[in-house]
Amino acid sequence: MTVNGALNWASSFLEAQKAEWEKPAIEWLLRHHLQVSRSQMFMMMHDEVEPEVFAIFCEDVKKYSEGMPVQHLIGYEEFYGRQFKVSRHVLIPRPETEELVVAVLQKKQELFSNSCAVSVLDVGTGSGAIAISLALEDAQVKVAAVDLSAAALQVAKENAVHLGAQVNFEISDLLQTPMNSGQKFDIVVSNPPYIPNGEKATLAVNVREHEPHLALFGGEDGYDLYRRLVRELPLVMNERGLIAFEVGAGQTKEVASMLREAFPHATVERVNDINGKDRIVLCYGDLH
């Protein structure tokens, strides 16, 4: 079986199974087993695949056809140019969340002097993708991260060690642990669960069956976690700072309204992602 033949077999198999699939995922899976880059794989199209490698690839394609995310099969996802370990205990980092990291880094430069250390809290850190990326991209930020799931925090800690990031991880139900210990932060960033409970059936099977519901669903209307965060935020924010949320498409108006009510002296900004969807809400300036 050649590399090209393996890819064609996978495509034909998935078509026959009427599975939800994407061609890049199959290429990614085969590259993982061959341990080659995408350009290397295309140069190897007529090379033979070792029988034992093809056998493992076939098993993984079958699991993929049943809805298992390719990231779980290979064990990682790329985020902000780095490989993050993922598992069924954490949400797989999405490309649009990279834009939240960019927005935080840019606004941080505008709001704070380059000479001062800036404290950052990532709420609901999951794999640690946001917290670790911020820590590695800006040496002046001191990053803490919290999550309700001990299993998720273990994944995040492993990613921090592997990538060489200094992040302080703690278990917390949203902001309860920082509130109880009297901690204050200059920046709070969060990508909380925001899918309405009623939309569960509409999700792709790889999301619905393999990603943690704790990290997906935000109550009947999707806003439960934002309501709680906005109530708790005044107790952990320094007087001048930045709050940055990722939200579901179409949710920025409601979340911006919550923030304006809680922080009437601050500037609230709704930001579209690269695809033109409203995905980010920033609240910055005077937070008291």
Known binding-site residues equal 124-128, 147, 191-194
Burial class (CB in 10 A: 0-12, 13-18, 19+), 264: exposed
| CA atoms within 13 Å, Cβ hemisphere of 108 | 27
Residues facing residue 143 across a β-bridge: 120, 167
Structure tokens given for 180: 């109880």
Annotated binding site for substrate: 191-194
Annotated binding site for S-adenosyl-L-methionine: 124-128, 147, 191
